Structure 1
Amino acid sequence: MTISDILRDSDYSLDLLEKHIDDLTIFQKEQKSGLTPPYTVCKVRKKEIKLTPEEVVRQLYLIKLHKEYGYPYERMQLEFAVHFGREVKRADIVIMDKIQPTVPYIIIEVKKPKLKDGKDQLKSYCNSTGATMAIWTNGKEIVYYHRKDPNYFEPIPNIPSQNQSLKDILTERVSIDDLIKIDILKTQRRSLKNIILDMEDEVLANAGVDVFEEVFKLVFIKLFDELQNTRKLSTHLEFRNYGESDSELKVKIEEIFAKAKKQWGGIFNDDEKIRLTPSHLSVCVSSLQDVKLFNSNLDVIDDAFEYLVNKTSKGEKGQYFTPRYVIDMCVKMLNPQEEETMIDTASGSCGFPIHTVFEVWRKIYKDLGIEESHLFTAEKKHERALEYVREKVFGIDFDDKSVRVSRMLNIIAGDGHTNVLNLNSLDFSRWEETTKDESWQDIYFDGWRRLKKLRSDKNSDKSYEFDIVMANPPFAGDIKESRILHQYELGKNASGKFQTKVGRDILFIERNLEMLKSGGRMAVVLPQGRFNNSSDKYIRDFIATKCRILAVVGLHGNVFKPHTGTKTSVLFVQKWDEKLCPKKDDYPIFFATMQKSSKDNSGDKIYVKNSDGSNRLDSHDHLIVEHDLYNHDGITQDGIAEAFLEFAKKEGLSFASGKCESPFDEAKYKALLDGLEVIEINFSEVLIDKNIRFEAEFYNSKIGLSDNFLYGDDIIDFV
């Protein structure tokens, strides 16, 4: 029997303990009835013990403490008795004090596979015994704590080795290069969202502050500090507790905040202060200091801010941050180029604009022969890259918190430049009122000045000349103001009469098309019903008259969980244009459905695994979400995006081949279709009548379709 067999179907893992597996000897005994369960000889108790999942983790952690930290097994005790009045509980592992060998020094909990349960247990053990440090691990995640006082457990980067003290750990100066090595998102397999949840549990929930605002400030300050050190403007990272008192630490963090506000204006007021008490701030800084926020794409921040923003206004309006892997698929399929402009009309955390920037920057760097580094987002950019983000990329959102998050990310990614504006995209007739407001102009004037240059009519905000629009507009809620509805063709019903209310996402379809120039292209996330409800046929007719339908990609129902289980699809179109997209009555459309869910039914991401069951990491040490939308950095298989780009080349679509793209390869295209649920079908054949029956090519076989268009588990009648 192997360790994998023992851990199967448990909440335990060995991601963090793999290197010691060979040091754990497993054996089984023969009995008349067969072999016994697996056993090992305990390193501390020196006797045979049965191996349960938690015991495997405990034995491997004993080996880790001995081999990596130098602690002798003689200094460790297992099932140490902790007294609570008459009640006695047993601590899993205790390292005893070097000078007072009867006094607990560090307590380790492995039998509680969930952090909150383990942390509560550790608190009670430490408070009862006086131990100053504690560790919780389930083999997949690990957390180290310093018991600062009975009320607060402060995260620490590690525990001291046999020949170190806690002071040695806390006072050691850390640079960005050191942070790359100790980054707890990698070494402890934790997410920023879970770290913030831990902070809430420890101090934020009872701190009497706006949790979003205070965490936003801390992330803002930490990003500034990382950027300063990456660009060698500081000798070591300052967003850390180097053993200062709580009051001293708060003064230091306030000073960094003041510098960041001055350099990155328009996000916080000049007089904004950190409202956490010194002791609360100390816990939060210690929680975040070993997280590396800068990486190849800033995506570690997404889950955290989606959680924070969604606690207030975001979820009520039916808008959820689009997962980065869906964004990347859209960006790859629309293939943006350096000379093209792009906007997101419902920008949220600015995923579409920022990832468009990253895609084009990579093309620029490839053209210049510059290698992309691990700290791609933090390093000083080439002037061509800065010129692109200054002039070509824009975002608009009506939610103030989302705009501030996206402006922060855009300012950082764009080296101090951002074109993210706080406007109501649908109510464009009132933009003039907003943009004349002096306080609004103080923040958004530069971006607004650049946006106005792209108007179709210099005196109107109705239509613009963008090459690309990408958006995930809010699904929930209706627009009921007749003043707004009367500005849209889709404000009318199928019979041409204005309606009393229209779904917000329906108006966004028309608004996005108004933002596109002739020949421009769009990707928009829409609820599944827009594609197959008979009552929405007039919407599909409207789209078909304005543009060529390029593709429809069905997303899995779990993609937007846990916030909503609404099934969605991404619609890709190109506006008719005499040169770039000549109008046709009959043309092929690319249809595909996402087969790998990417998330489980609870909304937790599913990651690509190695053959031994551990999570696979990419070249930046990031977890890889399991999906079939595109090839992740050459590590996973080609997916829907690659198949579509080959389809686009085959069809001679205007955007299919950029400077770095290869010509159409028929053999490659056929290989890509194998294994993907993809259908190409002529547009005229999508106009299905109940009495018509036709054949569609599905992989290499023929299937008969009637009544409607078969689409994964659903039925679509697109037009």
Structure 2
Amino acid sequence: MMVYIIKSVDTIHYETEVDALYNYISRLEEEYGFNQKNIRKEVPIQVGPKRQLADIIVYKDGLPYILIEVKQKIPENPELIKQNLELISSLLGNQYSVITDGIYDLCYIVQNSSQQNKLKSIPDIPSTYSSSSTKKQKRHIILKSPELFFWNICDVLRSKTKSRYLTEKEISDDLLKLIGAKIFDENNSEKPQFVADNSENYLKIVTRIENILEQLNKKQKSQIFEPKFKLPHDILVEIIFKIQKYSLTKSKITDSKLGFPYFIFTKNSGEFLTPPNIASFLTNLFPITSEMKVLDLACGTGKLLFDAGKKGATIVGLDINESMTNLAKINCYLHEIENATILCTNSLDSLDTLSKKSNDVIQPNSFDLIMTHPPFGLTPQIEYQKFSMLTTSGSKYVEALFIERSWELLKEGGKLVIILPEGIISNKITLAVREFITKNFKILGIVGLPDYAFYPYSSIKTSILILEKLGPKIYQNSYNVFIANAENLGYDKHGSSTNANDFSQIIEEFHVFLKTNKGHTFDTSLNEELRLDGNYFKNISNLGTQKQICLLKEITDISIGVKNHKLRKGDKYRIVKGQQIKDFEIDLSTADLTGFELISMDKFLLKNKDIVLTRSGTVGNVGLCKNVENVIYSDNVIRIRINSNKIIPEYLTSFLHSELGQKQLRQCTTGSTIRGISLSNLEKIQIPILSMSEQNKIAQKLEDILYQKSKLKDASIKFEESKSRLSKIIEEITMEQN
């Protein structure tokens, strides 16, 4: 299987030129009808004094017919490659040349010259050189790698329109019009209209495509697409030539059968949609019937609504992006969904405004299910002050307003399934949002997603909250919730498909939970900060059988180290950072030397028997201080200093390093992008107070472990020294013999 790789948001291509080469050979056979025996790869050619390898040559009647140069990625300016192909074509006598990355092709016809041949750009090479009876129906060719194909088209459009003053949105809109027209033509025309021929002028071709868009709008009874294009006709026709031979309805398109891959938006408009596997998971959490009303407040292309619409439910989709809502409308048409209301509007407009725009379809307390993936990190505008989340709590997060709007529109007992950054459901500064959730909803479930769920467009850690709207004066302090963590999503961080997918099992387990109510306990009296991240519930330690338990803050002083901007050049102090803390110890040999601007250093000086803990990055590493003269600690380190005779440092260090301690440390960890230990949560870690004899036994075990670690380190050093000596002996003996 060939693999493609995303290097960044700006480039997607085959991982190697070899992959691209073999894919193009496959296309020569399947799309153009060339016989494999007439296709040769890596053909040696003598060009003056140099010998070159032609990547691919297609032969006709034993003579070179098409010369192909394969690149992992086509450069923005391929002029140098063209010049080399012109030189080789003058020697070979081939009629056509191609520059390709395996998916997108730059095609040329060779114009003969008395000196050196020239290449003239053409839309495509001939499909076959054999009789028409062997030609494949162009209309039925399946596009095997739509992601690569459309991404490269986006690249070409951006490159060719740099000097034409077109916006990214205009480029994206016109590409989507072409795709929409092609699919409509495939589904509605007996004789293909989405065609281009070298003998036609550009205006005639473009006019025919615009007529297809008008037919589409007429059949849909709404303005799905503005029929007029913004792109220059020559560029439009080039893309039409590239698209026309493929059947987009039969191709495996990422987002839906419509063929509007969500990466087009990420490429040209900065938008990104819910990945298909996650969308499918959301739509299968609850059974949907024809009597239900289902809403998505940020519907995009409508993926979350299609299943509900096909089951007869009344569906409503809102999105502020007109391109998105146009796609959602045509998606509904192609899925034969008639009971749909799709509006280009702001979901946070007043309820009266939404009601008028929807012809009273949108009303308070009227929806059975809302599924939504709101935009992350936006700041609410002044006109949203009508929301209580702004007026009473001062929330600065637009996600909070989507939660409140969902509460306004849901029926009592209605369900909300929403994707949120973990910062919203775990950080101390977003407590007001969680207070609103817990007072107005019953939490049914929390499903954690990995940080690559929306990569490469976002690496924010997210969770799916599954909520049920409470009735008036209904409030529960303690109940069970469903907790799961989806580690495998059916794709990796590059977007490539994998066989590992946890969603099916999670859905089964959630349905069992709905019947049995057996889950993790959510208790507001124990969870003062109302943490709703699965990490919190998964790492609750059961220490209830211990005779005596103290909170960490009751037996220690806890502080965070010095901030970087306080440090100055110098060599008076060594500074301990997170990377120096590992396996119960601090490695001072790798600690940096530094100076300090403050007069008083006592606050940041470490003492023997202090315990240090990594606070951010790789959280939870524990070390016990020894021989720490003139050593300070950075702000990604927490210092714990015992102030009680109930406990000894060696025991506390061992406990924090144990699984019981680590579970509680993980429970203290918050944050969406950079995970870190919350100091207020750390203070509440429960420490079992053992008898002093038991603590001393554990301390002795720790001392034994450190002794064994020291012996292993010495043995490792001696091993490296022995290897070095052996190398020198061999070198000396060899030199003597010479």
TM-score bracket relative to the smaller structure: 0.5 to 0.7
What letter is aligned with 2:72? Answer: P
SS in structure 2 opposite 1:520?
strand
Superposed CA offset, 1:407-451 (max 9, x none): 33334334566411122222316727x95xxxxxxxxx6xx12xx
Which stretches in structure 2 are left out of the alignment for 5+ residues? 8-15, 111-117, 530-538, 545-658, 682-738
Query: CA contact under 8 A between 1:241 and 1:285: conserved in structure 2?
Result: yes
What letter is aligned with 1:279? Answer: D
Looking at structure 2, the residues matched to 532 and 565 of structure 1 have their Cα atoms a distance apart, in angstroms, of 17
What letter is aligned with 1:589? Answer: V
What letter is aligned with 1:109? Answer: E
Superposed CA offset, 1:621-662 (max 9, x none): xxxxx542x2xxxxxxx332232222223239xxxxxxxxxx
Superposed CA offset, 1:329-386 (max 9, x none): 11111333222111111223323223543xxx2xx5xxxxxxxxxxxxxxxxxxxx5x
Query: CA contact under 8 A between 1:327 and 1:355: conserved in structure 2?
Result: no
Alignment match, 1:470: 371
Alignment match, 1:163: 130
Query: CA contact under 8 A between 2:40 and 2:56: conserved in structure 1?
Result: no
What letter is aligned with 2:387? Answer: Y
Is 2:448 aligned against 1:537?
Answer: no
Alignment match, 1:406: 328
Q: Which of 244, 247, 255 is the equivalent residue of 1:289?
A: 244
Question: How far did 1:510 drift?
Answer: 0.9
Query: CA contact under 8 A between 1:220 and 1:408: conserved in structure 2?
Result: no
Alignment match, 1:695: 542
Alignment match, 1:426: 348
SS in structure 1 opposite 2:55?
strand
Alignment match, 1:380: none
Alignment match, 2:484: 592
Q: Which of 69, 74, 96 is the equivalent residue of 1:109?
A: 69
Looking at structure 2, the residues matched to 146 and 522 of structure 1 have their Cα atoms a distance apart, in angstroms, of 52
What letter is aligned with 2:488? Answer: K
Superposed CA offset, 1:605-629 (max 9, x none): 03126xxxxxxxxxxxxxxxx542x
Alignment map for 1:140-151 (pairs within 5 Å): 141-143=102-104, 145-147=106-108
Looking at structure 1, the residues matched to 396 and 317 of structure 2 have their Cα atoms a distance apart, in angstroms, of 24
SS in structure 1 opposite 2:285?
helix
Change (3 A) 1:491 1:582: closer
Looking at structure 2, the residues matched to 56 and 217 of structure 1 have their Cα atoms a distance apart, in angstroms, of 30
Alignment match, 1:333: 285
SS in structure 2 opposite 1:608?
strand
SS in structure 1 opposite 2:157?
helix
Question: How far did 1:518 drift?
Answer: 0.4
Is 2:208 aligned against 1:252?
Answer: yes
Q: Which of 438, 448, 460 is the equivalent residue of 1:554?
A: 448
Alignment match, 2:464: 570
What is the TM-score when the length of structure 1 is the normalising length?
Answer: 0.62
Superposed CA offset, 1:36-68 (max 9, x none): xxxxxxxxxxxxxxxxx8679879988997997
Is 2:90 aligned against 1:196?
Answer: no
Question: How far did 1:78 drift?
Answer: 0.7
Looking at structure 2, the residues matched to 56 and 545 of structure 1 have their Cα atoms a distance apart, in angstroms, of 55
Superposed CA offset, 1:250-298 (max 9, x none): 232232233223333543677x522333322221102222444436833
Superposed CA offset, 1:47-102 (max 9, x none): xxxxxx8679879988997997336569888133568xx98854223235548x3x
Alignment match, 1:241: 196
Q: Which of 46, 70, 84 is the equivalent residue of 2:35?
A: 70
SS in structure 1 opposite 2:176?
helix
Change (3 A) 1:153 1:349: farther
Query: CA contact under 8 A between 1:587 and 1:682: conserved in structure 2?
Result: yes
SS in structure 2 opposite 1:573?
strand
Q: Which of 43, 51, 55 is the equivalent residue of 1:92?
A: 55
Superposed CA offset, 1:478-534 (max 9, x none): 2241x532x22212455xxxx3x6211112111111111101000111111112112
Alignment match, 1:34: none
Structure (1 or 2) with the greater strand fraction: 2
Alignment match, 2:514: 648
Superposed CA offset, 1:190-216 (max 9, x none): 545424224326634455544533553
Alignment match, 2:422: 528
SS in structure 1 opposite 2:274?
coil
Query: CA contact under 8 A between 2:182 and 2:248: conserved in structure 1?
Result: no
Query: CA contact under 8 A between 1:71 and 1:161: conserved in structure 2?
Result: no
Q: Which of 310, 313, 317 is the equivalent residue of 2:269?
A: 310
Query: CA contact under 8 A between 2:225 and 2:326: conserved in structure 1?
Result: no
Looking at structure 2, the residues matched to 480 and 573 of structure 1 have their Cα atoms a distance apart, in angstroms, of 26
Alignment match, 1:213: 170
Q: Bigger shift: 211-220 or 513-522?
A: 211-220
What letter is aligned with 2:510? Answer: F
Question: How far did 1:546 drift?
Answer: 1.1
Q: Bigger shift: 234-243 or 63-72?
A: 63-72
Q: Bigger shift: 418-427 or 71-80?
A: 71-80
Looking at structure 1, the residues matched to 222 and 388 of structure 2 have their Cα atoms a distance apart, in angstroms, of 36
Alignment match, 1:682: 521
Looking at structure 2, the residues matched to 470 and 422 of structure 1 have their Cα atoms a distance apart, in angstroms, of 17
What letter is aligned with 2:514? Answer: A
Is 2:357 aligned against 1:491?
Answer: no
Query: CA contact under 8 A between 1:488 and 1:507: conserved in structure 2?
Result: yes
Alignment match, 1:21: none
Query: CA contact under 8 A between 1:109 and 1:136: conserved in structure 2?
Result: yes
Looking at structure 1, the residues matched to 317 and 456 of structure 2 have their Cα atoms a distance apart, in angstroms, of 25
What letter is aligned with 1:107? Answer: L
SS in structure 2 opposite 1:695?
coil
Change (3 A) 1:66 1:151: closer
Query: CA contact under 8 A between 2:266 and 2:457: conserved in structure 1?
Result: no
Q: Which of 301, 306, 318 is the equivalent residue of 2:260?
A: 301
Which stretches in structure 1 are left out of the alignment for 5+ residues? 12-52, 315-319, 365-384, 436-444, 456-462, 610-625, 631-637, 653-679
What is the TM-score when the length of structure 2 is the normalising length?
Answer: 0.60
Query: CA contact under 8 A between 2:422 and 2:463: conserved in structure 1?
Result: yes
Q: Which of 80, 87, 90 is the equivalent residue of 2:45?
A: 80
Looking at structure 1, the residues matched to 207 and 324 of structure 2 have their Cα atoms a distance apart, in angstroms, of 29
Alignment map for 1:344-355 (pairs within 5 Å): 344-355=296-307
Alignment match, 2:231: 276
Change (3 A) 1:356 1:168: same
Looking at structure 1, the residues matched to 391 and 123 of structure 2 have their Cα atoms a distance apart, in angstroms, of 57
What letter is aligned with 1:695? Answer: N
Looking at structure 1, the residues matched to 27 and 282 of structure 2 have their Cα atoms a distance apart, in angstroms, of 44
Percent identity between the two aligned chains: 19
Query: CA contact under 8 A between 1:354 and 1:413: conserved in structure 2?
Result: yes
Query: CA contact under 8 A between 1:226 and 1:237: conserved in structure 2?
Result: no
What letter is aligned with 1:333? Answer: L
Change (3 A) 1:76 1:696: same
SS in structure 2 opposite 1:249?
helix
What letter is aligned with 2:301? Answer: S
SS in structure 2 opposite 1:502?
coil
Change (3 A) 1:118 1:98: farther
Alignment match, 2:319: 397
RMSD value over aligned CA atoms? 4.6
